[in-house]
Amino acid sequence: MSTSPSSPPDHGSASEGELAAALDRAATRGAGAWPGLEVAPATFRAYLAGRLPGEGDGVAALEAMAIEDLYLACACVQGDRRAIAAFTDRFVRVSVTAASRSRRDGPAADDMVQLVLEKLLAPRGSLPPRLAEFSGQGGLRAWVRVTVVRAGIDLERTQARRIVADTGEPAENLEELATTTDPELDYLKRHYRDEFRQAFAAALADLDPRSRNALRHHLVDRLSIDQIGALHGVHRATAARWISRSREELLAGTREQLRRRLQLSEGEYASIMRLIDSMLEVSVQRLLSG
């Protein structure tokens, strides 16, 4: 049976009554987890409903969501000061501290906390704060962790731009700073730099979105396979397979692109593959860090 444009989303086998009851239970559950916060039940039910998929079993989707985390996010988006304080202490500061352990020379923790809060809670014109994009798929801590890592990268880029400004090195040549100790690879990098960049970009564009995201999380955001799995709601073994397959596809795609562009011997191709592997991380960072 067709659905008219004014009809509600199709939530599979769940009736409207079952979905309404599930939303009520979720609202009660969220309020119970954060008794010090005040979010009107109707407001939170609408917040949850807006994050349900347009098709499929809405009740099952609701049960898979991180309801407690969504309740806190909803309160923060509404501007509740107590919610923002709790969010800062339990999620942002914890994630910043964890990230700081792996970046000894990184920015000060207080600066990072402030930057992350600005990214997630600051108004964006007519758009809600970015925290409203948290859909409840996976935990809020893993979701915040991505923002923390990217904020650190942003600060490092700012520092790198200052270095570039001081040294006069053109920004587009920053890949050249990733030198090797292998004279042959450095020779290939100098002579086939443009061809490599074009081939790599084309191979990366050929990857499906999930593969590109897996590489971004792993190589740019520096997330562990556990964090990537939590972010996407899959087992760590699945996340590891995604990363391995994405890397293999990217390397194979880049090699094929170079075969089309260059006329090289098999020995030279073997060296090119070593070059591709040595430049993989910096190239992914350059193309996927936006």
107: left (phi over 0), alpha (psi -120 to 50) or beta: beta
pLDDT score recorded for residue 80: 93
State how far the alpha carbon of 283 is from the alpha carbons of 33, 154, 159, in Å. 44, 17, 19
Say which DSSP state 9 is in: P
pLDDT score recorded for residue 72: 97
Sequence ranges of the domains in the chain: 16-151, 169-288
Per-residue pLDDT tens digits for 162-186: 444 444 444 444 344 344 444 555 5
Angle (deg, nearest 10), helices 140-167 and 93-101: 50
pLDDT score recorded for residue 246: 87
Sequence-distant contacts of 106-113: CB under 8 A, at least 24 apart? 106/152, 106/155, 106/156, 107/152, 107/155, 111/155, 112/148, 112/151, 112/152, 112/155, 113/88
Splitting the chain (290 residues) into consecutive groups of 10 residues, what average pLDDT does each group show? 43 72 94 93 94 83 92 95 94 83 60 86 85 89 82 61 47 42 54 75 85 81 81 83 87 80 63 64 64
pLDDT score recorded for residue 76: 95
87: left (phi over 0), alpha (psi -120 to 50) or beta: alpha
pLDDT score recorded for residue 217: 81
3 burial (CB, 10 Å; 0-12 / 13-18 / 19+) is exposed
Six token digits for residue 181: 């100790």
pLDDT score recorded for residue 188: 59
Cβ-proximal residues to 126 (8 Å cutoff; 6+ apart), any chain = none
CA 187, distance to chain mean position in Å, is 35
Cβ-proximal residues to 58 (8 Å cutoff; 6+ apart), any chain = 9, 11, 12, 14, 19, 22, 52
CA 276 – CA 254 distance, rounded (Å): 8
